[in-house]
Structure 1
Amino acid sequence: MAPSSGAVRPARSLVIFGLIVAALYALVFFTGDKSPTPKLGIDLQGGTRVTLTARTPDGSKPSQDALRRAQGIIETRVNGLGVSGSEVVIDGDNLVITVPGDDSSQARTLGQTARLYIRPVVSSAASSNAQSAKAPAATPPAPTPPAPAPQNRPFPAQAPAPTPAPAPAEATPADQAAAEIAEAKKTRQSTDPAVQQQAMATLNCDAADPLQGNDDPTLPLVACSVEGDAVYLLGPSIIDGQEIADASSAFNSQQSRHEVSLSFKSGGSNTWAQFTAANIGKQAAFTLDSKVVSAPVIQGATPAGSATSITGSFTAASAKELANTLKYGSLPLSFQSSEAETVSATLGLASLQAGLIAGAIGLVLVLLYCLIYYRMLGVLTALSLILSGVLVYAIMVLLGRYIGFTLDLAGIAGLIIGIGMTADSFVVYFERIKDEMREGRSFRSAVPRGWERARRTILSGNAVSFIAAAVLYILAVGQVRGFAFTLGLTTILDVIVVFLVTHPLVHLASKSEFWSRPSVNGLGAVQQVARERKTAAATSRTAASAQAKES
């Protein structure tokens, strides 16, 4: 390699690294909420805990298999909502959801999980912002005025609500709940039109719903909207919510409105195509926990395999909320209404400060050792570690801003260990340089040869660490996953820093007359060993030659 080309490559690497850092900090300070601080986990800043109690139609104990499947779906929903650092654990017959932060509304949204069905609307009272559903290419017809129906009507004296059968004197809470569910099914899921109309006239949408999530999908249903401003008479379910393949929200720039796109699995797609073709102009209700979350008007037939768009007076937040509800709402169990409670930080900022102080002390000791042992190379180590920390901080801020990543104490431990592994990579590189110099090479010629030998070792070591972190992330739960995530992230950044910063700086130092002095770079002892070996080898050769002449 020519000297000029050798000088260009390190400079190019440093420029690339500088552009990466500049781009990251431009995103930190000029995009999003522009807050230059990472999000903290529940163990450092507190959060919200939601307890969901499973309910079965007959009041029996839910199976562990059903609870595990519900846990998996809720975990998927948590990830879909962009909540990181959260935990969903099984506690007896309950699911306990823990969400970092002081916004309990998001935790309450996570608690609104139950069984989702799609039912035809037989009769309804539409709200002023009634939604509509159509095939992507269909043209909406002119709106029709809503049919009158009772909304939030109290129980009238002339038509009293059916009185639940009295529970036995020794009835348990489970027996009472089962009796309430049975009575609600008798009135709100009756096939008698007179009983249906009576149920619509007397249903109080503000009262607690004993039928919540326990309706029979094969029977009609009288249900309220989630806002409580409409009452619906619905037919039997045509599609189970588990047939929904995906749901997402987006802004339609051509129509200047937010929409929800909905797609089904193969079985549900065929059923939906047949239903929309036969019911144009009618409503289809999406019911969650026996409440109507959306009742769009079908404005066109949706071909099998095609997505359906739901439009209406959506905001970005309401469209995303509906999409998440449709995508993650269906569970094998129903749950009682959740209650969110604030959880105080178990470790708090004091523990965070103590952990950071401990990490800083360890880092300072490492840097002092490197400065004493490697001198100039120790200075390059310190500079590389500082730049690595700058890079890590920006990435933590951006991950918290855009994917909801929260940094907890376990994650901080992963960062500290990862930065320590970065220092290990420097040591491997420097020791390879010293090995080359012991063999008699100069500092300038030892650097490229030492890099060739160290590069394979560094890549192999980081590959093993990254695989271990990836396996731990996949198999672990909770805070252990945070540790694995930050460990894997810093392992990748280790490779970036070593290749784009450390090696280029060492290469440039080897070209400098000042930094090549043994008194400056701290490699005088190594060069002395090389001279002694060279002298001993020369002496040995001289003695061997003299013996050969004598013989």
Structure 2
Amino acid sequence: MATSKARTRPVRTLVVLGVLIVAMFATIFAGTKLDAKSEDNPNGASWAPGLALDLQGGTELILKAVTEDGSTPTDEDMDQSIAVIRQRIDSSGVAEAEITRQGATNIVVGIPGEVSQSTIDLIVTPAQMAFRPVLQILAPGATATDEPTDGATDAATDAPTDGADDAAATDTATDAATDTATDAATAAPSDGASDAASDTATDAATDDATPATDPSDLAQITPEVQAEIDAFDCTDPANLTGGNSGSADDVLVTCDDTGTAKYVLGPVEISGDEIDSASAGLQTTQSGATTGAWEVALKFTGQGRDDFAASTERISTLESPRNQFAIVLDGLVISAPSVDEIIPNGEASITGSFTRESATTLANQLNFGALPLTFEVQSQETISATLGAEQLKQGLIAGVIGLLLVALYSLAQYRALGLVTLASLVIASIVTYGVITLMSWTQGYRLSLPGVAGLIVAIGITADSFIVYFERIRDELRDGRPLVGAVERGWSRARRTILASDTVNFLAAVILYVLAVGSVRGFAFTLGLTTVIDLIVVIMFTHPVLQLLAKTKFFGEGHRGSGLDPRRLGVDSIRYGGRGRVVTPKRPVADEVATLDADREPVAVGAAAGEGRRMTIAERRAAERKAAEAGTEPDQADAAPQARDQDEETH
């Protein structure tokens, strides 16, 4: 019953494959309408896959590594810097970037396509990151004031309530990397709190004899610091370029990275290299349910865990905004989360009005904000893809030639059956194109020239799978099976061979992708991708199509043009034609007659019998019938030869 059911499912399998293909291209169509590719959105959806640097051109940066003491960077520092830069670029959604070392101090970064300034800034951002306690949050302008203006209040109010209650999220956060400086998660002081903070600061500024007791003490705001605060203007673009992280032991007056708020920060309590890991994800409740809100999970190292526990123990008891700590990257505040309770295990969850993009950006900044070196941009230029375009043209011509050769061979060797090979290659090409185009939009993947080479190699790999299957079917036909049975039996045997072959190819692609660097990984990726697609097409298209064709008269009866003609396969003996029919070839009847051995087991005789090959059921029944018509016993059939020739007939 299982076999019977399996034979009734080819149409269902083809429909499922068709639905998947339609859904894939429908998704791309929706993307072109909702998130279309443009100059402002280079990673948007498009009907054409993204191209890498060698095919499309892009921007080339030459960065010079600079150490704090002016010494020559070590090889380890340069290698680590290249790894971090590559991770930064990949995390920003750009694929197929070329990063190479040039000499002892230079790193060449090639980025394909239109490159946004934010991506360039992310690459060259210096490595200095620190955690400082917040003393004040003020309006961005340079005018001295006792309380934040409306702009600062709008940018720094509305502390979250739900995020602080989660077991894993003990500190709520703001995301200054997005539209506002401190985001909806930063709690700004109310008017009364602001007045109290300002009054306290004034008192502290007039009492030089009162030393600061901790990094959050407002006594650190001396008259000199207050004058700097009054004069500092976050609306001036010059104050938003970064690069000034200040002294780790002194108060820092700075801005958020969007220039919408001014921060007064205490001394550094935790350095950026104490961060163990950071990741963006959806918040979960204590029961494990997903809330749909985004968060950034932050984890510190051993020393960082102790320092963070001591810091949160102190600032969690303070009023707003001194219950916040600022994450400072390159002298600018990228986030300023508030703390409501002690975090002793060094694992914090920064929550707020994050989107997926803003949460990912903050996680990337936390993860890769500690380069061992700083970099100076020596040059930045746009490179063309004239040579790459010519190479792409030649590569496509080579692919077309290879496809035509495969088509000619298939048609010559398998005749009409070769059309199944061509149809399967077309389906595989459509699926591959759709997957690469979809990945260009959703994953930032870009097709490089080595990737095109991988696609061309895939033509041979895909055709090889069909050849294995067809030859297995022919073997079964030679053994006397009807076509329907030969298709099923041949598939069960060919499937193991195809799986083994594709597994080897896929493992080779994975190993090459892991061990290789640069453009070679593009070849490995497309090779692995097309191997998986080949397996899908053989299972969901080629096999079901052959199941349907086996039931047609043209293929089922072995037409000369079908590629399954018994004569071309060397099958000269009697065979079963389906529906109780037995087909006999054109040759003397005497050669068709079989004898039974001593144990009455059927054994074929004659030149076409295959040197004592055991007869099939169809052959045995036909031999017995002809022996009965001749009036002889089956074991004496060879003694009553028929001299006349018979045309091929169906019984």
Q: TM-score, normalised by structure 1?
A: 0.79
Name the residue aligned to 2:106: 94
1:95, distance to aligned residue in structure 2 (A): 2.7
1:35 to 46, 59, 74: 46
Measured at CA, do residues 62 and 427 of structure 1 come closer, stay the same or move farther in structure 2, by a change above 3 Å? same
* Residue 422 of structure 2 corresponds to residue 422 of structure 1: no
1:476 to 502, 510, 516: 516
Q: How do 1:57-68 residues align onto structure 2 when only pairs under 5 Å count?
A: 57-68=68-79
* Residue 127 of structure 2 corresponds to residue 119 of structure 1: no
Name the residue aligned to 1:130: 156
1:55, distance to aligned residue in structure 2 (A): 1.8
Measured at CA, do residues 433 and 207 of structure 1 come closer, stay the same or move farther in structure 2, by a change above 3 Å? same
Name the residue aligned to 1:161: none
1:212 to 227, 236, 243: 243
Q: How do 1:291-440 residues align onto structure 2 when only pairs under 5 Å count?
A: 291-298=332-339, 301-302=342-343, 304=345, 306-309=347-350, 311=352, 318=358, 320-336=360-376, 340-345=380-385, 347-440=387-480
Measured at CA, do residues 342 and 524 of structure 1 come closer, stay the same or move farther in structure 2, by a change above 3 Å? same
Structure 1 distance, partners of 2:362, 2:378, is 19
String of CA shifts for 1:329-352, please: whole Å, max 9, x gaps: 122222236864322225343432
Structure 2 distance, partners of 1:2, 1:272, is 63
Secondary structure at 2:570 match in 1: helix
Structure 2 distance, partners of 1:231, 1:106, is 23
Structure 1 distance, partners of 2:65, 2:160, is 33
Secondary structure at 1:40 match in 2: coil
String of CA shifts for 1:231-265, please: whole Å, max 9, x gaps: 6454033243441521437799xxx9986524123
2:115 to 90, 103, 114: 103
Name the residue aligned to 2:65: 54
* Residue 300 of structure 2 corresponds to residue 265 of structure 1: yes
> Would the aligned equivalents of 1:251 and 1:258 in 2 still touch at CA under 8 Å?
yes
* Residue 504 of structure 2 corresponds to residue 464 of structure 1: yes
* Residue 144 of structure 2 corresponds to residue 144 of structure 1: no
Q: Which runs of 5+ in 2 are unaligned?
A: 36-44, 141-151, 173-185, 199-219, 285-290, 574-603, 614-634, 640-651
Secondary structure at 1:531 match in 2: coil
RMSD: 3.8
Q: How do 1:208-287 residues align onto structure 2 when only pairs under 5 Å count?
A: 212=243, 217=248, 219-220=249-250, 222=252, 224-225=254-255, 226-227=257-258, 230=262, 232-248=264-280, 261-267=296-302, 268-280=304-316, 281=320, 282=322, 283-287=324-328
1:536 to 607, 618, 633: 607
> Would the aligned equivalents of 1:247 and 1:323 in 2 still touch at CA under 8 Å?
yes
> Would the aligned equivalents of 1:223 and 1:234 in 2 still touch at CA under 8 Å?
no
Measured at CA, do residues 50 and 426 of structure 1 come closer, stay the same or move farther in structure 2, by a change above 3 Å? same
Normalized per residue, the structure richer in helix is: 1
> Would the aligned equivalents of 1:411 and 1:483 in 2 still touch at CA under 8 Å?
yes
Identity %: 38
> Would the aligned equivalents of 2:605 and 2:611 in 1 still touch at CA under 8 Å?
no
**Match of 2:70, as an amino acid?**
G
Name the residue aligned to 1:519: 560
Larger RCO (CA within 8 A; separation ≥ 6): 1
Name the residue aligned to 2:10: 10
Q: TM-score, normalised by structure 2?
A: 0.68
> Would the aligned equivalents of 1:196 and 1:233 in 2 still touch at CA under 8 Å?
no
1:443, distance to aligned residue in structure 2 (A): 3.3
**Match of 1:143, as an amino acid?**
P
1:193, distance to aligned residue in structure 2 (A): 6.0
1:108, distance to aligned residue in structure 2 (A): 1.1
1:384, distance to aligned residue in structure 2 (A): 0.7
1:101, distance to aligned residue in structure 2 (A): 1.3
Secondary structure at 1:66 match in 2: helix
Structure 2 distance, partners of 1:432, 1:383, is 19
Name the residue aligned to 2:495: 455
String of CA shifts for 1:329-380, please: whole Å, max 9, x gaps: 1222222368643222253434323322221122022112211210121010
Measured at CA, do residues 534 and 454 of structure 1 come closer, stay the same or move farther in structure 2, by a change above 3 Å? farther
> Would the aligned equivalents of 2:296 and 2:362 in 1 still touch at CA under 8 Å?
no
> Would the aligned equivalents of 1:248 and 1:260 in 2 still touch at CA under 8 Å?
yes
* Residue 518 of structure 2 corresponds to residue 506 of structure 1: no
